[in-house]
């Protein structure tokens, strides 16, 4: 970061807010698909609950519920900025949204800290933790900490997100990037943005791929799974 | 009627000597890789005892298997509504502490230690971390009632006994024990399959073997909780669940599974049975004490012309139907009523059945005294040291009548054979015993034969596995003609 900051401002912004997002997304798409096709076996949540049960609860559960809520909030802000602005028209509702979001982010942070402490403290868990995990945890810490910093230091983000980040993301999506939307934002917000795209870039190289294989078909499938070598002549239905 | 074939098994507990040869055969073939060291797809437990993993039978804690209110059958802890909120942390999953931490010894140090005043020793080191460790538990830590005040006294099945019977079981000197070898039951209504969020577990249609697709398993761990027998295991290294595969590569070559093949006591029987898959769910909703009979009713008589016709209509090949006619499992379970399912009240319909042990036949409890009544040779089964209620809790969903029937018939066969071979038991007494056990002399001879004399071919009747169909299904035989030779998974490509 310190090197890029010394570059001329316009190049800096273009690199970070017009090039990096595309590089990250291309990496994400190409590598995830390639990995799913050629190394499908590696798609696993790689749970370590079996090796350590108690701390796992205090790490995994708060982190996942917290981060899911926060991510959902970002997604709503991106897809339905007008809805957020409408909700925020009343100061009380804005306040409720801000506080809830911050609480969930803190929950995620506490969970992540517990996860990291658990992985450091327990020799069995260290055995199943590799370099990519440590890098990932460091990046997630930066991501969540900067997000909380933004929430505390630059309040009412749910409102200004809709008027600055959302249009910028839409400009990226329509292949007409307009860095002006984000170029003048506070540096902490910029760190949060850059860190987010770096996460997207490393996503396919890490255990994060388990997000892509969440078991939604389970909710609709039959209870039992029976696989036949070839279609049966008369397959009676089985519940 | 939806007739299917299932490879089923019988373990004759009266013949098990608890040597663990089966466990070692299995371990050497399948589970000596990293991440699987702690797994014993086949294990042998001493009963009474808490087993492996500890207290696996306690479903109040582990919440495995199915529950029913008489109409609706649902997984006890891993139903769809419960699984989703618990996916980040499975509250009923056993951890490694409930099994044991696998270890090895630093054998190298016996040879490579520098010269010194002390004898070099091979210290135990963890097979997870590689660090020295204190061994606190093992897969058969309570073998032969070792530490029975901790282990046997906490056997969940003792709940079935009244205080007096418990005391009787508890007094170590007088304690009866027997061995319980366990593998995956390859159930008809497997809760592991039903619970898998990824759909990675499945039952093979042709032979009913339950497998985990390693490419689809995502380590949600639901199967570990859902299996009430704790026979799906989590590989901590690969992040995938694994389980007994009934040595299907061996079966497909017509050979017995490794644990069957190596069994010293020849206690293991294998053969396919035909069953009606359309009735499974209704059967599973029946009350506990009816379940033994209800599960037996699912199994069809392969000599019945109606069954044969229905089986053909359901696409079961003739060779498989013929194999079912020769199945030793059918005789033990259906014809003779001697073999019973383990914990049928879990409602998974295990396809591994046990002939309950007649132990110890010559001893009776008389107040506080164990009497080895040699005059009578065979004691009354009601006075046997292991209370029938205990066996009923294990093998009959609490229905003591089913256990009593199996024990009485086994005892009558012994009396009958004693009469024939030694002659110190009169024909009248032997015949009366057979009559009371609802057993004919011919049946008694057949039971004796399959118990004591049967060769490998009679004990293990592997049905034809129809592999050619499977191969045709997977690969067009012409697909690789004029393309890759052997040794390439993706074919040799220039770019």
Residue boundaries of the structural domains of chain B:
3-252, 265-459
Residue pLDDT, tens place only, B89-120: 999 999 999 999 999 999 999 999 899 998 99
Class of domain B265-459 as given by CATH: alpha beta
What share of chain A in percent tops pLDDT 70?
Answer: 92
Q: Do B190 and A224 touch (CB under 8 A)?
A: yes
B62, B52, B55: which is closest to B92 by C-alpha?
Answer: B62
pLDDT of B321 higher than 50: yes
What share of chain B in percent tops pLDDT 90?
Answer: 73
Measure in Å the smallest separation between the Cα of A76 and chain B Cα atoms: 22
Rounded Cα distance between B325 and B274, Å, is 9
Of A46, A127, A236, the CB nearest to B2: A236
Q: Do A236 and B277 touch (CB under 8 A)?
A: yes
Residue B171's pLDDT is: 65
pLDDT of A232 higher than 60: yes
Residue A209's pLDDT is: 94
User: Please, which residues have CB within 8 angstroms of residue B211's CB and are 6 or more apart in sequence?
Assistant: B201, B202, B203, B204, B243, B245, B248
Please count the other Cβ atoms lying within 10 Å of the Cβ belonging to residue B17: 12
Mean pLDDT estimate for chain A: 89
Residue A25's pLDDT is: 96
- Taking residues A186-205, what's their average pLDDT? 95
A213, A214, A215, A208: which is closest to A28 by C-alpha?
Answer: A208
pLDDT of A58 higher than 60: yes
Residue A21's pLDDT is: 96
Residue pLDDT, tens place only, B196-210: 999 999 999 999 999
pTM given for the model: 0.90
- Taking residues B21-47, what's their average pLDDT? 95
SS3 (DSSP) at A226: strand
The residue in chain B having the minimum alpha-carbon distance to the alpha carbon of residue A126 is B129
Best residue in B78, B86, B88 to probe A by mutation, most A CBs within 10 Å? B88
Token pair 């005040």: residue:
B149
Question: Looking at beta carbons, which residues of chain A come within 8 Å of B466?
Answer: 229
| Residue ranges of domains in chain A, CATH in brackets | 2-219 (1.20.950.20)
Q: Which of A216 and A37 is assigned the larger pLDDT?
A: A37
Of A40, A41, A238, the CB nearest to B278: A238
Whether residue A129 has a cis bond before it, omega within 30° of 0: no
SS3 (DSSP) at B398: coil
The residue in chain A having the minimum alpha-carbon distance to the alpha carbon of residue B201 is A225
Rounded Cα distance between B50 and B68, Å, is 26
Rounded Cα distance between B308 and A168, Å, is 70
pLDDT of B77 higher than 50: yes
- Taking residues B292-302, what's their average pLDDT? 97
Best residue in A50, A232, A239 to probe B by mutation, most B CBs within 10 Å? A50
Rounded Cα distance between B66 and B71, Å, is 12
Residue B487's pLDDT is: 55
Which sign, positive or negative, has the C-alpha torsion B411, B417, B418, B423?
Answer: positive
Question: Looking at beta carbons, which residues of chain A come within 8 Å of B470?
Answer: 229
Rounded Cα distance between B457 and B474, Å, is 31
pLDDT of A239 higher than 90: no
What share of chain A in percent tops pLDDT 90?
Answer: 65
pLDDT of B434 higher than 60: yes
* ipTM here: 0.88
Rounded Cα distance between A4 and A13, Å, is 9
Residues of A numbered 113-142 whose beta carbons fall under 8 angstroms of chain B's beta carbons: which are they?
123-124, 126-128
Q: Do B198 and A213 touch (CB under 8 A)?
A: yes
**Distance separating the N- and C-terminal Cα atoms of chain A:** 58
- Surface-to-core class of residue A39, CB atoms within 10 Å of its CB (0-12 exposed, 13-18 middle, 19+ buried): exposed
Measure in Å the smallest separation between the Cα of B376 and chain A Cα atoms: 52
Measure in Å the smallest separation between the Cα of A101 and chain B Cα atoms: 20
A with B: how many residue pairs have Cβ under 8 Å apart?
Answer: 141
């Amino acid at each position: 970061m310190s090197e890029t900051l010394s570059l001329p401002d316009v190049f800096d912004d273009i690199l970070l807010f017009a090039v990096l997002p595309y590089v990250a997304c291309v990496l994400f798409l190409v590598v995830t698909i390639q990995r799913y096709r050629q190394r499908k076996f590696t798609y696993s949540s790689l749970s370590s609950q079996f090796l350590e049960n108690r701390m796992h609860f205090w790490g995994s559960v708060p982190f996942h519920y917290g981060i899911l809520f926060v991510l959902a909030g970002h997604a709503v802000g991106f897809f339905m900025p007008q809805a957020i602005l409408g909700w925020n028209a009343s100061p009380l509702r804005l306040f409720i949204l801000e506080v809830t979001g911050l609480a969930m982010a803190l929950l995620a942070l506490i969970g992540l800290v517990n996860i990291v402490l658990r992985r450091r403290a327990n020799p069995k868990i260290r055995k199943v933790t590799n370099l990519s995990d440590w890098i990932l945890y460091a990046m997630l810490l930066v991501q969540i900490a900067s997000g909380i910093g933004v929430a505390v230091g630059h309040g009412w983000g749910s409102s200004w997100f809709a008027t600055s980040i959302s249009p910028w993301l839409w400009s990226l999506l329509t292949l007409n990037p307009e860095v002006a939307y984000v170029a003048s934002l506070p540096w902490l917000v910029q760190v949060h943005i850059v860190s987010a795209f770096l996460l997207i870039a490393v996503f396919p190289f890490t255990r994060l791929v388990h997000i892509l294989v969440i078991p939604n078909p389970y909710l609709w499938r039959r209870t039992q799974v029976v696989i036949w070598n070839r279609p049966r002549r008369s397959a009676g239905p089985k519940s | 009627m939806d007739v299917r074939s299932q490879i089923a098994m019988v373990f004759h507990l009266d013949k098990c000597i608890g040597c663990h040869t089966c466990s070692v055969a299995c371990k050497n073939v399948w589970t000596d890789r990293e991440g699987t060291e702690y797994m014993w797809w086949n294990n042998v437990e001493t009963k009474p005892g808490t087993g492996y993993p500890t207290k696996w039978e306690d479903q109040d804690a582990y919440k495995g298997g199915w529950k029913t209110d008489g109409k609706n059958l649902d997984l006890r802890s891993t139903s769809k509504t419960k699984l989703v909120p618990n996916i980040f942390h499975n509250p009923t999953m056993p951890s490694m502490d409930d099994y044991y931490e696998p270890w090895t010894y630093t054998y190298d140090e016996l040879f490579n230690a520098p010269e010194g005043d002390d004898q070099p020793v091979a210290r135990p080191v963890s097979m997870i971390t590689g660090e020295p460790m204190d061994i606190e538990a093992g897969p058969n830590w309570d073998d032969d009632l070792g530490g029975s005040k901790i282990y046997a006294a906490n056997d969940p099945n003792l709940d079935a006994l009244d205080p007096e019977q418990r005391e009787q079981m508890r007094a170590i000197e007088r304690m009866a024990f027997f061995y319980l070898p366990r593998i995956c039951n390859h159930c008809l209504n497997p809760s592991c399959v039903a619970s898998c969020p990824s759909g990675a577990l499945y039952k093979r249609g042709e032979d009913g073997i339950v497998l985990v697709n390693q490419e689809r398993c995502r380590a949600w761990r639901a199967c570990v909780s859902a299996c009430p027998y704790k026979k799906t295991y989590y590989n901590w290294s690969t992040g995938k669940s694994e389980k007994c595969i009934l040595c299907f590569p061996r079966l497909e070559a017509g050979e017995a599974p490794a644990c069957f093949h190596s069994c010293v006591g020849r206690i293991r029987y294998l053969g396919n049975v035909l069953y009606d898959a359309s009735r499974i769910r209704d059967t599973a909703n029946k009350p506990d004490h009816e379940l033994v009979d209800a599960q037996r009713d699912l199994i069809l008589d392969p000599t019945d012309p109606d069954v044969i016709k229905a089986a053909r209509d359901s696409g079961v090949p003739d060779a498989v139907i013929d194999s079912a006619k020769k199945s030793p499992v059918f005789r033990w379970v259906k014809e003779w009523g001697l073999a019973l399912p383990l914990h049928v009240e879990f409602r998974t319909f295990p396809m591994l059945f046990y002939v309950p042990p007649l132990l110890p036949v010559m001893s009776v409890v008389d107040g506080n005294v164990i009497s080895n009544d040699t005059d009578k040779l065979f004691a009354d089964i009601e006075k046997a040291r292991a209370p029938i209620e205990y066996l009923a809790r294990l093998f009959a969903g609490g229905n003591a009548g089913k256990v009593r029937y199996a024990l009485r018939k086994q005892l009558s066969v012994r009396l009958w054979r004693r009469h024939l071979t030694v002659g110190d038991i009169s024909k009248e007494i032997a015949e009366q015993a057979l009559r009371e056990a609802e057993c004919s002399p011919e049946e008694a001879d057949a039971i004796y034969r399959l118990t004591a004399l049967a060769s490998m071919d009679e004990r293990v009747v592997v049905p034809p596995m129809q592999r050619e169909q499977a191969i045709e299904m997977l690969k067009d035989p012409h697909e690789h003609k004029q393309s890759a030779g052997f040794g390439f998974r993706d074919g040799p490509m220039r770019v």
